């Protein structure tokens, strides 16, 4: 089983760890470069992306995490997705460019200030994720553009809200804040596949 790290500088990292416990997937908090070295994949939680950005620089984790993302899978939710994007607006902000997506922070405005909606995965992924995903949106970013290598797994009102780019996954909502662990399960299974692929070229 892969060891999943959860970036624990700020935000709702505890909810992700709880999801991992529910799935019986080994996971631990990551606050330092040394801890990052020990995990096989990372979750960047929801929270406040500007604060996380500042803390990542303060803890000298920015470069380490950028390198980590070149080799290992990362799953970002909400603020985490903002940090992984290639383009951030409203306001513009530094990001890792791990996924070819453009996001508008707080893009749904009041409409999705804090709301739970029922989503239906796209046809190709429905058999993997199942139907009727409960999604919690809190000051969520709009994923305004996705690049050619990005697969849209779930949409809300036509906009992508769960996307995959290679080994990375990003959600504009918070799968960690429901009791439904299907998206986390999907990520952990994909990490396991990526790792066994890497060790059996
Ligand atoms: N609006 C926040 C930001 O821009 C993200 C909100 C969230 O993670 N729930 O960082």
Domains contained in the chain, CATH given: 4-199 (3.40.50.880)
The pLDDT, as a whole number, for residue 198 is 64
* Ligand 1 centroid – CA 199 distance (Å): 36
Torsion of CA 72, 162, 180, 20, to 10 degrees: 10
Out of 16, 165, 168, 174, which one is annotated catalytic?
Answer: 174
Q: How far, in whole angstroms, is CA 166 from its chain's centroid?
A: 13
- pTM of the predicted model as reported, rounded to 2 decimal places: 0.96
pLDDT in tens, the chain (201 residues): 899 999 999 999 999 999 999 999 999 999 999 999 999 999 999 999 999 999 999 999 999 999 999 999 999 999 999 999 999 999 999 999 999 999 999 998 876 678 899 999 999 899 999 999 999 999 999 999 999 999 999 999 999 999 999 999 999 999 999 999 999 999 999 999 988 766 655
First-to-final CA distance of the chain: 19
- Specify burial of residue 18 (Cβ count, 10 A radius: 0-12, 13-18, 19+): middle
By C-alpha distance, which of 163, 167, 164, 171 is closest to 190?
A: 167
Return the pLDDT at 45. 98
Mark whether 78 is an active-site residue: yes
Q: Does residue 105's CB lie within 6 angstroms of at least one atom of ligand 1? A: yes
Active-site option among 16, 168, 176, 184:
176
Which pLDDT score, from 0 to 100, does residue 172 have?
Answer: 97
């Amino acid at each position: 089983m892969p060891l999943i790290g959860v970036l624990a500088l700020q935000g709702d990292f505890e909810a992700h760890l709880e999801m991992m416990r529910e799935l019986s997937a080994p996971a631990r908090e990551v606050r330092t470069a040394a801890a990052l070295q020990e995990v096989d994949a990372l979750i960047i939680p929801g929270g406040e992306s500007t604060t996380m950005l500042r803390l990542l620089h303060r803890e000298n984790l920015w470069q380490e995490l950028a390198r980590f993302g070149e080799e290992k899978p990362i799953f970002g939710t909400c603020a985490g997705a903002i940090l992984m994007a290639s383009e951030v607006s409203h306001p513009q902000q530094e990001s890792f460019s791990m996924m070819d997506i453009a996001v508008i922070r707080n893009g749904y405005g009041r409409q999705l200030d804090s709301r739970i909606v029922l989503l239906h995965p796209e046809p190709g992924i429905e058999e993997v994720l199942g139907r009727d995903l409960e999604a919690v949106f809190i000051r969520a970013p709009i994923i305004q553009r996705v690049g050619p290598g990005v697969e849209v797994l779930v949409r809300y009102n036509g906009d992508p809200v769960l996307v995959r780019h290679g080994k990375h996954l990003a959600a504009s909502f918070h799968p960690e804040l429901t009791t439904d662990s299907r998206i986390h399960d999907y990520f952990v299974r994909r990490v396991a596949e990526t790792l066994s692929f890497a060790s059996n070229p």
